Amino acid sequence: MPPRKLYFENVRVGDELPAMAKSPIDRVQLARYAAATNDYNPLNIDELQAKAIGMPSVVSPATLGLGFLGQLVTDWARGGQVKRASARFTRMLWPGDTLVCKGRVSDRWGEGGRYHVELDVWAENQKGELVVRGNVTLKVFYSFEDETRFRTGQPPLIVTVPRQSLLSAPPAPPTPAGKVPAGKGKVSAGKVKVSAKSVKKPVKPKASKPKAAKAKKPKKATKPAKRKK
């Protein structure tokens, strides 16, 4: 039976990776890690040197926690390629700490025959405290058929999939014609109810007083002209 592989068509945003619990960190593991990375920092392997500067004991390299996250991703994403990885360390690791590594799918997109899956991964200690948090971008095949086409030299399957990030807010729905925007009124059964504040009262025109007609002065009576004798 062929080993299980991760294909784009089987991944959904929000899918959680199976949690992975590690054995408690011990000094033998620290010594082996120092030899593997060729990093013999006295603070990681020399108890006396660590206590001389006021530390309770040797401290684990922060990159050890990052290595645990890498194991979590590679165990889950079989057949995928890691294209980008980043991490942020938030707490020191000490001998005796037991880490639990977790992760989830935070984004996925496909364009031009290339398909990517983005993961949020993190590790917590035995107290539930966040120790390290990271982000990983994987390149995967769309399906088994897509992988077969690649192996035989055929062009890839072209399926365009827009980004589906957990962080992206859904766009606001368009306002249908005839509806009043929020705060201006309410729409119910096709009728628009407008709040009283938004309606201005009509201004009544002031009634103009009729001007009093001026009384005409009577004309003076003219005396009849005298006749000449």
Alpha-carbon distance of 128 to 29, in angstroms, equals 22
What 3-state class would DSSP assign to 102?
strand
> How crowded is residue 224: how many other Cβ atoms within 10 Å of its Cβ?
6
Contact predicate 87/130, CB 8 Å: no
pLDDT at 204: 57
Rounded to a whole number of angstroms, the CA Rg of the chain reads: 42
β-partners of residue 110 are 115, 161
Phi, psi of 114 (to 5 degrees): -120, 135
Sites in the chain below the pLDDT cut of 70: 1-3, 166-229
Query: 173-190, pLDDT tens digit by residue?
Result: 444 444 444 444 443 334
DSSP assignment, residue 198?
A: G
What 3-state class would DSSP assign to 71?
helix
What 3-state class would DSSP assign to 135?
strand
| C-alpha distance from residue 194 to each of 62, 96, 187, 191, 204 (Å) | 62, 67, 9, 10, 22
pLDDT at 165: 76
Classified by CATH at the fold level, domain 8-25+60-151 comes out as Thiol Ester Dehydrase; Chain A (3.10.129)
